[in-house]
């Protein structure tokens, strides 16, 4: 079943041009009915299905994974009070994952994106990831050149260091991903996919494509 109605997409399409407290308060009941509640129900179902693939998620709730729609504008030049998408980070510790690991899902009026990988890991975990890449470069190469991965997620993304110390520098030419400071990848869908009955099934199908690569990065810190 689909948890969403067309007004879910419509609300998120109207929000960028009306990103102010007055409009949001006038449409708060609509937000609750069309966006907040359906999104929480959807994340609950998504977690339930992901748990079948990863039993570490059995004790996490949707509320622990979902990010607030309010923006933190204290240190931003952009003072728009609301995010223009709804999102959640599904991990054993929810959105508070300190490892940079987890399945991140983002729904907006313009797109839907499913992310995986290690986003901005700590310096300690980054060191461990680089050690794993250095020790297993062929394994990573096989994962990123997998046909289904390339067709659906494209490539590993992330800002890179310009230089890196030995012994990692020894394999930069053949394996430049070792320069990365983040290791993430995503698949983008049309926003209308949220209205389809098999939306969660499609996400699970795509999650299975990136599961081996997710495990590669997670194993690095264990």
DSSP helix/strand/coil, 2: coil
% of the chain residues with pLDDT over 70: 98
Provide the pLDDT confidence category of residue 1 given band limits of 50, 70 and 90. low
What pLDDT score was predicted for residue 98? 66
Does domain 6-220 sit in CATH 3.40.720.10? no
Average pLDDT for residues 179-196, to the nearest whole number? 96
Distance CA 3, CA 174 (A): 46
Q: What is this structure's pTM?
A: 0.93
Element (H, E) at 111: none
Q: Say if residue 170's pLDDT is above 70.
A: yes
């Amino acid at each position: 079943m689909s948890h969403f109605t067309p007004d879910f997409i419509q609300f998120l399409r109207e929000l960028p041009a009306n990103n102010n407290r007055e409009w949001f308060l006038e449409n708060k009941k609509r937000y609750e009915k069309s966006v907040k509640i359906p999104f929480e129900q959807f994340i609950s179902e998504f977690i339930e299905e992901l748990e079948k693939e990863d039993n570490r998620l059995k004790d996490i709730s949707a509320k622990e994974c979902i990010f607030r729609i309010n923006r933190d504008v204290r240190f931003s030049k952009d003072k728009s009070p609301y995010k223009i998408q709804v999102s959640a980070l599904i991990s054993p510790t929810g959105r508070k994952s300190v490892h940079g690991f987890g399945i991140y899902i983002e729904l907006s009026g313009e797109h839907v994106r499913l992310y995986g990988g290690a986003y901005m890991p700590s310096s300690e975990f980054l060191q461990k990831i680089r050690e794993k890449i250095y020790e297993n470069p062929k394994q990573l190469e096989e994962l990123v050149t997998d046909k289904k991965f390339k067709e659906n997620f494209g490539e590993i993304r992330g800002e890179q260091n310009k230089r890196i110390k030995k012994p990692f520098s020894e394999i930069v030419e053949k394996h430049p991903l070792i320069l990365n400071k983040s290791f993430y990848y995503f698949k983008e869908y049309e926003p209308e996919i949220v209205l389809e009955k098999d939306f969660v099934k499609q996400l699970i199908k795509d999650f299975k494509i990136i599961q081996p690569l997710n495990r590669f990065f997670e194993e690095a810190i264990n």
